[in-house]
Structures are given as structure tokens and as C-alpha cells.
Structure 1
Amino acid sequence: MGKLMFTATMSIDGYVADSAGDFQWSAPEGAVFAIHVERMGEVSTEVLGRRTFELMQYWETDPDDRVWTPAEQEFARRWRRIDKVVASSTLTREDIGSDRVRLMPDLSLAQLRQIVDDAPGVVEIFGPTVAAAAIRAGLVEEFQFFVVPKVVGGGLRALPDDVQLDLSLEGHETFGNGIVHLRYVPRDAGP
């Protein structure tokens, strides 16, 4: 049985992309990228929406225009080995092009629970739009936030506006560039 984790890189004011859709300000480098490489070692399944899937296709083949660093090569190796579930009603099987990718036009919470139950490790739900229903339903067992020292003033929020969470800080790390990595789990609802 797996564990559902939500990961987001966001501005101080809580956005993963600004009002123009730009997120280049959040691109990880150096020690922050190394944490992402390490994190991918735990992930057995990635659940993504269409936009995030298309963005991450970059890691499926080596780029023609430059040579990857050893860290980028390792991230790509780890990314390629994990199973992927793409929640999209607009992509087709031909768009996917891999037998490690399962296309689900309408990902229900019951289907997501089954994916997590069947996974041998961490299931990362990546992208705030595809993760919103799981966050609202309390299915996410761990939250990892990479907070970038930037205020963007609007855009795509990392967390749904209508959700309330009581979280416990499980770990944190501050990097020289001002980025903070925070790891939270929901507080027990028990007595």
C-alpha cells in the first residue's frame, strides 16, 4: 500500500504560477534540485494533469540542444522508471506514447484511492488542479512545499481556496538562495 503525497513549488503568497501563467521563477537549481532528485527515489507512481504531464515530457528524452548535468541525468532516469497516471479528457492514447502511462479521462477519488492502495511506494500527485479534490477529501498524507522568496500577487494557487487543513511540521530545510523546503503531515484526528 502506497502513500499519497502532494508536492508544490510556490511563491511566498502561495502561487505555483503567476497571473500570466509563468512559473520559471520556481525552477529548482543546485541543492534544491538535488532534493527533487532524492525525492523521486521514493516515488513509484506520479499522478498528473494534462499540463503538468506535457511539461514533464521534457524528462522522457535527452535534449538535443545541450548536455544534461549528472543530477539532471539521474532525475530523468528516476522519472522514466516510475508509473504515471494522467488525468485528462483531452489527451489521447497516441498523445501519451508510453506503456508506463495510464490515461484516465475522469479520475475519481475512488480510482485515486485504488491507485494509492496498489502502489508499492509513494504516489505523488503533482499539480494543484489535479490534486484539489484529493486535498479537499483529506486523502493527502504528506505535503511538501518548496517556498520561493518571491511574491507574485496572483495566479494559480498551490492549494484550493476552500480547504482548511490542520498540519504538523515534520521537517524543514532552508537553502542559501532563500528557498525553504517544508514537509507537513495532517494532524491526527484521534482523541
Structure 2
Amino acid sequence: MGKLIFTASMSIDGYVADTDGDFQWSAPEGAVFAVHVERMGEVSTEVLGRRTFELMQYWETDPDDHVWTPAEQEFARRWRRIDKVVASSTLTHDDIGSQRVRLVPDLSLAELRRIVDDAPGVVEIFGPTIAAAAIRAGLVEEFQFFVVPKVVGGGLRALPDDVRLDLSLEGYETFDNGIAHLRYVPRQG
């Protein structure tokens, strides 16, 4: 049985993308990227929506326009070995291009529970839109936030507006660039 986690890089005011849809201000570098590489070693299954899946396709093939660093090569290697479940009603199996990807037209909570129950390790649900129902339903067992020292004033929120959570801080790490990596779990009782 797996463990469902939600991970997000976000501004101090709680957004993963600004009002223009830009999220490049949260792109991890250096020591923060190293944490992401390490995290991928624990993830057995990634659950993504269409947009996030298309964004992460970057890691599926080596780029032609530059040479990846050793950390980027390792992230790509770990990313490629993860099973992926993509929730999309518009993508087809021809769009996927990998045997490690399962396409589901709609991700119900029951289906998500099955995915987590069948997984041999950590299941990461990646992207605030796809994670919203699971967060509301209390299915997420751990939250990992990479808080970027930036206020963007609006955009795509990391957490749904209509949810209340009582969380316990399980761990944190700060970096020289001001980013804080925070790990929370829901309080019991």
C-alpha cells in the first residue's frame, strides 16, 4: 500500500503560478533541485493532469539544444522509471508515448484510492488542480511545500480555497536562496 503526498512549489502568498500563468520564478536550482532529485527516489507513482504531464514530458528525452547537468540526468533517470497516471479527457494513447503511463479520462476518488492501494511506495499527486479533490477528501497523507520568497498577488493557488486543514510540521529545510522546504502531515484526532 502506498502513501499519497502532494508537493508544490509556491510563492509566500500561496500560488504555484501567477496571474499570467508564469511559474518560472519557482524553478528549482542547485541545492533545491538536489532535494527534488532525492525525492524522486521515493516516488513509485506520479498522478498528473494533462497540463502537468505535458510540462514534465521535457524529462522523457534528452534535449538537443544543451547538455544536462549530472543532477538533471539523474532526475530524468528517476522520472522515467516512475509509473505515471495521467487524468485527461483530451489526450489519447498516441499522445502518451510511454508504456509507463496509464491514461484515465476522469480521476475519481475511488480510482485514486485504488492507485494508492496498489502502489509499492510513495504516490505523488502533482498539480493543484488534479490534487484539489483528494485534498478536500482528506486522502493526502503528507504535504511538501517549497516556499519561494516571492509574493505574486494572485494566480493558481497551491491549495483549494474551500478546504480547512489542521497540519503538523514534520520537517523543514531552508536554503541560501531563501526557499523553505516544509513537510506537513494532517493532525490525527
TM range (shorter): over 0.9
Q: Tell me by how many angstroms 1:108 deviates.
A: 0.4
Q: Tell me by how many angstroms 1:139 deviates.
A: 0.1
Q: Tell me by how many angstroms 1:97 deviates.
A: 1.0
Between the two proteins, the alignment pairs up a number of residues equal to: 187
Compute the TM-score of the two structures, normalised by the length of structure 2: 0.99
Paired with 1:4 and 1:33, the residues of 2 have a C-alpha distance of: 21
Q: Tell me by how many angstroms 1:122 deviates.
A: 0.1
Q: Tell me by how many angstroms 1:153 deviates.
A: 0.3
Paired with 1:169 and 1:143, the residues of 2 have a C-alpha distance of: 10
Q: Structure 1 runs of 4+ off > 2 angstroms? A: none
Compute the TM-score of the two structures, normalised by the length of structure 1: 0.98
Paired with 1:62 and 1:69, the residues of 2 have a C-alpha distance of: 11
Q: Which residue of 2 aligns with 1:109?
A: 109
Paired with 1:45 and 1:3, the residues of 2 have a C-alpha distance of: 10
In the TM superposition, what whole-angstrom CA distance separates every residue of 1:69-95 from its partner, at most 9, and x where no partner exists? 000000000000000000011111111
Paired with 1:91 and 1:157, the residues of 2 have a C-alpha distance of: 24
Q: Tell me by how many angstroms 1:180 deviates.
A: 0.2
Identity %: 91
Paired with 2:77 and 2:97, the residues of 1 have a C-alpha distance of: 17
Paired with 1:87 and 1:18, the residues of 2 have a C-alpha distance of: 23
Paired with 1:77 and 1:180, the residues of 2 have a C-alpha distance of: 26
1:154 match: secondary structure: coil
Paired with 1:34 and 1:80, the residues of 2 have a C-alpha distance of: 17
Can you give the 5+ residue segments of structure 2 that lack an aligned partner in the other structure?
Answer: none
Q: Which residue of 2 aligns with 1:75?
A: 75
Q: Tell me by how many angstroms 1:51 deviates.
A: 0.4
Q: Tell me by how many angstroms 1:126 deviates.
A: 0.1
Q: Which residue of 2 aligns with 1:14?
A: 14
Paired with 1:144 and 1:157, the residues of 2 have a C-alpha distance of: 15
In the TM superposition, what whole-angstrom CA distance separates every residue of 1:20-53 from its partner, at most 9, and x where no partner exists? 0000000000000000000000000000000000
In the TM superposition, what whole-angstrom CA distance separates every residue of 1:130-174 from its partner, at most 9, and x where no partner exists? 000000000000000000000000000000000000000000011
Paired with 2:29 and 2:98, the residues of 1 have a C-alpha distance of: 28
Paired with 1:130 and 1:112, the residues of 2 have a C-alpha distance of: 11
Paired with 1:147 and 1:108, the residues of 2 have a C-alpha distance of: 29
Paired with 1:49 and 1:106, the residues of 2 have a C-alpha distance of: 10
